[in-house]
Amino acid sequence: MIAGAEEEELPVGEAHDRVELECSVDRLITVRPDGYTVARATGADGTEVIVAGRALSGVQPGETVRVRGEWVTHAKYGTQLVVDACEPAAPSGVRAIRLYLASGIVRGIGPKLAAAIVEAFGEETLTVIDETPERLLEVNLIGPGRKDLIADSWIAHKQVRELMVLLQGYGIGPSFAVKIYGEFGDSSAEIVTEDPYRLIEAVRGIGFTTADKIAMASGIPEDSPVRARAAVLDRLDAAAAVSGHCFLPYATLLAAAVALLGQDQLLVRQAVDALAEQRRIVIDTGVGAGQAVYERRMWDRERRIAESLAALAGAPSDMPKAVLRRLEALTAA
């Protein structure tokens, strides 16, 4: 029924009313580089469903999720739930809890140990791990070291899940939660809500547009100096990535950042000055009649290349004299 969904996004067919469904993910059928995911899942009533969409990016087998979307019936792919919103949910029922723990989401727990833990605590398993992890020692296969590993991993996993919910509120897929937590740990939620522009340099895949979306939703002012500095760096990065430019003329950078921010030029000038003082950019006055603005790392690379070329130009040649004479003759001809 779903053959071919691995290769292309589900086309729109006959859409039905929007639904909200809680289900446990049984198997990932396909995950595309852009995050579009097709998965087989089991609903709370035991019904098997196929769910698909970019909102599922980052979900893993064994996870219980709450999804929202539309049932779509297509001649080629059959009936699937096309998901546009997904957030983690606590698994309910012994089977769902066992699959959840057996998936490897919590370090220190594999399929065999998951079965033993669930057999010992039943539907209270997750409450035990969360609130009284010392009770895990009641399970024969668990010693003090394994208990601590499970407890620490559970805390980290819980924070990632909470971060997923937070990001979902900004329309950002759950796959970024793991990346952000890996970079900022316990401070992740605070960074996201209070200084989202830090995500740009730290997390691959998050650019100015995404960080700015979070910032605006979090109440950060449009004329914030932090926002302006992020815009300046973004325009320099874009110039390098898209056009291959090592620098931008000062006036060009000002115009690009002003257009991105929708703010006046004074704010951008102040941002450029601040970044120069912080040594995050370099303003070179020796380029033509104007000023060239480099991102610091690009400036350092350019300087190293120039120094290397200068050293090569002044180095003695190891070529035999006969070869050099022949080259000189060819050049003169």
Q: What is the CATH number of the domain that holds 66?
A: 2.40.50.140
Q: Answer yes or no: do 109 and 158 share one domain.
A: yes
95 vs 274 pLDDT, higher one: 274
Q: What is the pLDDT of residues 194-219, one digit of tens each?
A: 999 999 989 988 999 999 999 999 99
Mean of pLDDT values over 96-124:
92
48 within domain boundaries: yes
- Could you give the 3-state DSSP secondary structure of residue 267? helix
- What is the predicted pLDDT for the residue at 317? 59
Q: What is the pLDDT of residues 154-176, one digit of tens each?
A: 999 889 888 988 888 887 877 78
- What is the predicted pLDDT for the residue at 2? 37
Domain-terminating residue out of 63, 88, 113: 88
- What is the predicted pLDDT for the residue at 136? 97
Mean of pLDDT values over 179-186:
92
Q: What is the CATH number of the domain that holds 273?
A: 1.10.10.2220
- What is the predicted pLDDT for the residue at 318? 62
Provide the residue range defining the domain that includes 147.
94-163
Q: Is the pLDDT of residue 251 over 90?
A: yes
- What is the predicted pLDDT for the residue at 311? 72
**Number of structural domains, the chain?**
4
- What is the predicted pLDDT for the residue at 35? 82
For residues 66 and 42, the answer to whether their CB atoms sit within 8 Å is no
CA–CA gap between residue 164 and residue 64 (Å, rounded): 13
288 within domain boundaries: yes
Q: Answer yes or no: do 29 and 78 share one domain.
A: yes
142 within domain boundaries: yes
Mean of pLDDT values over 294-309:
81
CA–CA gap between residue 214 and residue 220 (Å, rounded): 9
Tokens of 307: 């120094």
9 within domain boundaries: no
74 within domain boundaries: yes
114 within domain boundaries: yes
pTM for this prediction:
0.69
126 within domain boundaries: yes
Q: Answer yes or no: do 36 and 65 share one domain.
A: yes
Which residues neighbour 81 within 8 Å (Cβ) at sequence distance 6 or greater? 19, 21, 49, 50, 51, 52, 67, 69, 70, 71, 72
- What is the predicted pLDDT for the residue at 7? 43
40 forms beta bridges with 27, 50
230 within domain boundaries: yes
For residues 5 and 77, the answer to whether their CB atoms sit within 8 Å is yes
